[in-house]
Structure 1
Amino acid sequence: MDDETIDQALLVVSELVTNALEHALPPVALHLRRPGNDGALRIEVGDGGPADHEGTWTTSCAPDEHGRGVSIIALLASAHGTRIRAHAVTHWAVLPAAA
């Protein structure tokens, strides 16, 4: 992967993991895959579902200091979404291969 794609992947991973830590129950698991031959990277972060309370960072900062993660992911990813199961939620994003 080229440096720009690596930087984008790190940003998407950071956003997804931070959201899981701040808004969801454990356990949190990160999975990175390159499922096809097209060079795309699939990033998945699974968690234990929504938490009853917001995380420490979210509650300690001003409203304008958070809340842009999904917009950032949407800008960088060719696709993204959420898969909900009984006691787990997986948020995912696909980064296209570098041109």
Structure 2
Amino acid sequence: MYATEYNTIITGQTGGEGVRVPAPRPPVDSNDVTEALDHRPQAVRTARHAAQAVLDEWQVASDAVLLVVSELVTNAVEHAAPPLALHLHRERTGSRVWVGVTDGGPVETEGTRTTSRADDEHGPTIVDTLAETHGTRTHPSGTTHWARIAA
């Protein structure tokens, strides 16, 4: 796993605070984790297990974080190009976890479905409900969808 460097501040999101958006870098401390994922349906399970291991290490119990990880990775597998990476950041103040999923950006043809079409509509609602704030950042290497969750 790799750490995550936050090099861009986005302001004006729900919650009013600036939100840092990641750029991968070598590990510095255990509050920042990035894991590359295979761009396939099994990535959802892999990401959930990786997030659970990190949360256990951080001694943070949060089903909300795991649900948001699942939704963001599912969205990336179904609607975006590779590569795919999961970013987790434990904020030093407060009890919040920042989750980011970086993908290669949108594609013209959807990828392999990991959910039924009926479930497709619930993902954005789940993230919106569970996250204090969330958003999207487009950058030269793709797109990062992120959420900040109270844990």
Whether TM-score is above 0.5 comes out as yes
For the residues of structure 2 that align with 1:79 and 1:65, how far apart are their CA atoms? Answer: 22
Counterpart of 1:39 in structure 2 is 95
The alignment status of 1:95 with 2:125, answered yes or no, reads no
One-letter identity of the residue aligned with 1:17: V
For the residues of structure 1 that align with 2:106 and 2:131, how far apart are their CA atoms? Answer: 23
- Tell me the TM-score normalised to structure 1 length: 0.83
* TM-aligned CA deviation for residue 92 of structure 1: 0.2
One-letter identity of the residue aligned with 2:141: H
Q: Secondary structure at the residue paired with 1:90?
A: strand
Q: Which has the higher contact order (CA 8 A, sep 6+)?
A: 1
* TM-aligned CA deviation for residue 67 of structure 1: 2.0
Q: Which of the pair is proportionally richer in helix?
A: 1
User: Which runs of 5 or more structure 1 residues have no equivalent in the other structure?
Assistant: none
* TM-aligned CA deviation for residue 68 of structure 1: 1.4
Stretch moving more, 83-92 or 13-22: 83-92
* TM-aligned CA deviation for residue 42 of structure 1: 0.2
How many pairs does the alignment contain?
92
* TM-aligned CA deviation for residue 90 of structure 1: 0.2
For the residues of structure 2 that align with 1:57 and 1:88, how far apart are their CA atoms? Answer: 20
Q: Secondary structure at the residue paired with 2:113?
A: helix
- 1:29-85 per-position Cα deviation (integer Å, ceiling 9, x unaligned): 001001332120000000010012112217x94x42322111100100000000111
User: Which runs of 5 or more structure 2 residues have no equivalent in the other structure?
Assistant: 1-59
Spell out the pairing of 1:1-99 with structure 2 (5 A cutoff): 1-2=60-61, 5=62, 7-57=63-113, 61=116, 63-97=117-151
For the residues of structure 1 that align with 2:100 and 2:119, how far apart are their CA atoms? Answer: 24
Aligned-residue Cα RMSD (Å) equals: 1.7
Kindly report structure 1 stretches of 4+ aligned residues shifted beyond 3 Å: none
Aligned-residue sequence identity (percent) comes to: 48
* TM-aligned CA deviation for residue 86 of structure 1: 2.5
